[in-house]
Structure 1
Amino acid sequence: MSQARPLSLITGASAGIGAAFARALAARGHDVVLTARRTDRLETLAAELRQAHGTNVTVITNDLAEPHAVEQLCNALDERGLQVDWLINNAGYGVPGPFDQVDWAVHADFMRVLMTAPTELAWRLVRGMRARGYGRIVNVASLAGHVPGTAGHTLYAASKAYMIKFSQSLALENQAIGVHACALCPGFTKSEFHDVTGTRQMMNKLPDYMWQTSEQVVQEGIAAVERGDAVFVTGRFNRVVKGLFKLLPDRVAMRMSAKQSKRYRAQLAE
């Protein structure tokens, strides 16, 4: 490995799954680099990790929607002499609303954050991992990438399906030299995601068995990437859903998706 302690870079580290990854990896003896847009939250988490685990924490405020954000982030790592052993591509959000009724600039930012930035980060950092013969890349995808897309979140499932396929190829290219890549696919997770998209009230109506905590997702994700799983769906319920949709004819699966989309839009309008 590159340092006496492995170093993990976590995007979207200010809350939810990203913060849970930071806590879990720090508890495993990792030093961490935290990056997101909200400096105050990153600094609060950094102080917690230093106190709890004696972790070396680097905070780099960064907005991955900016075209040169990844280059600037990697330059900041180089200036500090930091070599990344674990890359957690977690930053993400949703854009609700019909595709043509959302400004293109909003869609462009979304695709940079959820597709372009994690791909570029992997491209820039995997070279060092390969040279050192060790690395872990976790691309936080979603169960949504395994089921038909829904109306109203037009690009979300598409972006997650991309991350799944990208992770599979990345895993195959690097599995023989000690670098593991994994698309981590959670379902409904207790985090701020649904507050940001304005769907919290609707999500609160779902039964408890459909949900996982961020900590549960992270625990399963770390185990999956260490095993060398290229794709892993967290939670038994989510794996059943994935298996069901895999067996259904496309036409039936699309009808089910359309029904769910209609229900989703109706509840958002309430």
Structure 2
Amino acid sequence: MTGASSGIGAAFARALAARGHPLLLVARSTEALAELAGELDVDVRVLVADLTTAEGLARVEAELGGVDLLVNNAGSATYGELGEQDPADLDESVLLNVLAPTRLTAAALRSMPAGSGILNVSSTAAGRDDPAIAAYAAGKSYLETLSRAARPEAGEHGIRVTVVRPGRTATAFHERSGEESGHLPAWRWQSPDTVAEAALDALERGEEEVTVAPGDGHERR
């Protein structure tokens, strides 16, 4: 699982651990991964890797033969006019939202066993023509197209591909992107646990896509 150190990624880790799955957690933060691993009552391996680098991608690709679920969750967003964005931030967004899941999905098709699954984390922002999130929305649109196009090949290998499309989720992601969203009321937000549970349920049911947005009935009580 990529992007496992916080937010939706950490929620996926906890949800999978609660279902008894051993885990391979991937992120850039050694300290955050170690802290999360210490919370979980299953076998956990930690892989510190930067997916914006060729070395980091290669390290994760080499591990995929030993897992039966790939969660492409790592991502990055920038907020504001496209022409005003820091080029380095745009590069990171494209590398994490486009290149990394492409490489890891391809590696999964080569090495993961039949009965495995790929869960690609998109966003309700995919396809939106909002100038403030141009690169992010385009990257998530790409991820959804990649997932759909890869399904026939994945099916030949007995691998399921599910896309989860979260709406606004209460994580630090929005703050890091520079989006000013603190004024929004509580009902406009959902928990990362809601997203993770709904996505895993959809994967188990064999659904190809699931949208998880505040107030849509996915909340667990």
| TM-score greater than 0.5 by the shorter chain | yes
2:193 maps to 215
Establish whether residue 234 from structure 1 lines up as the match of residue 217 from structure 2.
no
Structure with a larger share of its residues in helix? 1
Does the Cα contact within 8 Å between 1:180 and 1:226 map onto a contact in 2? no
User: Kindly tell me: are residues 175 and 226 of structure 1, through their superposed partners in 2, closer, same or farther at Cα, counting changes over 3 Å?
Assistant: farther
TM-score (norm 2): 0.90
Which residue, out of 120, 133, 147, partners 1:153?
133
Establish whether residue 182 from structure 1 lines up as the match of residue 181 from structure 2.
no
Aligned-pair Cα RMSD in Å = 2.0
Look up the SS of the partner of 2:54 in the other structure: coil
1:249 maps to none
Which residue, out of 98, 105, 109, partners 1:122?
105
User: Kindly tell me: are residues 124 and 44 of structure 1, through their superposed partners in 2, closer, same or farther at Cα, counting changes over 3 Å?
Assistant: same
Which amino acid in the other structure matches residue 115 of structure 1? V
Which residue, out of 11, 31, 35, partners 1:20?
11
Does the Cα contact within 8 Å between 1:186 and 1:238 map onto a contact in 2? no
Unaligned 5+ runs, structure 1: 1-9, 240-270
Taking the aligned partners of 2:155 and 2:206, their CA distance within structure 1 comes to 8
Taking the aligned partners of 1:177 and 1:109, their CA distance within structure 2 comes to 31
Taking the aligned partners of 1:189 and 1:182, their CA distance within structure 2 comes to 19
Does the Cα contact within 8 Å between 1:17 and 1:214 map onto a contact in 2? yes
Taking the aligned partners of 2:59 and 2:114, their CA distance within structure 1 comes to 25
Which amino acid in the other structure matches residue 160 of structure 1? K
Unaligned 5+ runs, structure 2: none
Does the Cα contact within 8 Å between 1:67 and 1:112 map onto a contact in 2? no
Taking the aligned partners of 2:4 and 2:99, their CA distance within structure 1 comes to 18
User: Kindly tell me: are residues 176 and 228 of structure 1, through their superposed partners in 2, closer, same or farther at Cα, counting changes over 3 Å?
Assistant: farther
Which residue, out of 23, 39, 43, partners 1:32?
23
Corresponding pairs, count: 217
TM-score (norm 1): 0.75
User: Kindly tell me: are residues 154 and 32 of structure 1, through their superposed partners in 2, closer, same or farther at Cα, counting changes over 3 Å?
Assistant: same
Look up the SS of the partner of 1:138 in the other structure: strand
